[in-house]
Structure 1
Amino acid sequence: MATEIITKEDLHEFRELLLVDIRGLLGGKGPQENTKWLKSYQVKNMLRISPGTLQNLRVNGTLRYTKIGGIIYYKQEDIQAVLEGNIKKK
């Protein structure tokens, strides 16, 4: 049975590879990406709109949403996309 000796350099190289892998997992987009979900009252305050206007945005498909247990959630990136899509050009 051959004996392998692990040096400090080997451990340092392993550490660097491990850190690269962990950063890749944390920084990559996957099923657990850090998506900011907002509730209706937050969206209304952000856009300065009424509850009826928010409902119209949902009904006509302008703003996507998810409903869980009676609470409606919106992705912050979807709200940003709606705002950017409505920029008026001169």
Structure 2
Amino acid sequence: MAVEILTKEDLNHFKSELLTEIKSLLKQNQLSKKWLKSPEVRKLLNISPGTLQNFRINGTLPYTKVNGIIFYNYEDIVKILEQKKIHRSNS
């Protein structure tokens, strides 16, 4: 059985390739799932059903209702998160 020696450079290269692959898979998953149901949104934002309902009522989060099922556009969720982003200065 042959022995292979791995260097730090080998491991860094592997890490870089792995991260690129994971990012690619996550991006594909986000693009393939344009519309999310309420449980998915609650899990994504870590909020309760009542909070999600308040977001609908006060217009914070737009939604679409089809046959009694509420759907949320993934891009709308990302947009809201970007708008609420807090920027702190290092002064």
> Is TM > 0.5 for Structure 1 vs Structure 2?
yes
TM-score, normalised by the number of residues in structure 2: 0.60
Report SS of the residue matched to 2:44: helix
Largest Rg, 1 or 2: 1
Supply the distance in 2 between the matched residues of 1:57 and 1:67 (Cα, whole angstroms): 15
Report SS of the residue matched to 1:87: coil
The answer for the alignment partner of 1:89 in structure 2 is 87
CA positional deviation for 1:35: 6.8
Q: Structure 1 residue 66 and structure 2 residue 64: aligned?
A: yes
Q: Give CA-to-partner distance per residue, 1:30-89, whole Å, 9 cap, x none.
A: xxxx77000000000000000000001111101000001110000000000011110012
Task: Please report the RMSD computed on the Cα atoms of aligned residues, expressed in angstroms.
Answer: 1.3
Structure (1/2) with the larger helix percentage:
2
Supply the distance in 2 between the matched residues of 1:53 and 1:77 (Cα, whole angstroms): 19
TM-score, normalised by the number of residues in structure 1: 0.60
* Matches for 1:1-90 after TM superposition, within 5 Å: 36-90=34-88
Identity of aligned residues (%): 56
Q: Any gaps of 5 or more consecutive residues in structure 1?
A: 1-33
Supply the distance in 2 between the matched residues of 1:48 and 1:81 (Cα, whole angstroms): 17
Letter in 2 for 1:67: K
Aligned residues: 57
Q: Any gaps of 5 or more consecutive residues in structure 2?
A: 1-31
Supply the distance in 1 between the matched residues of 2:57 and 2:80 (Cα, whole angstroms): 15
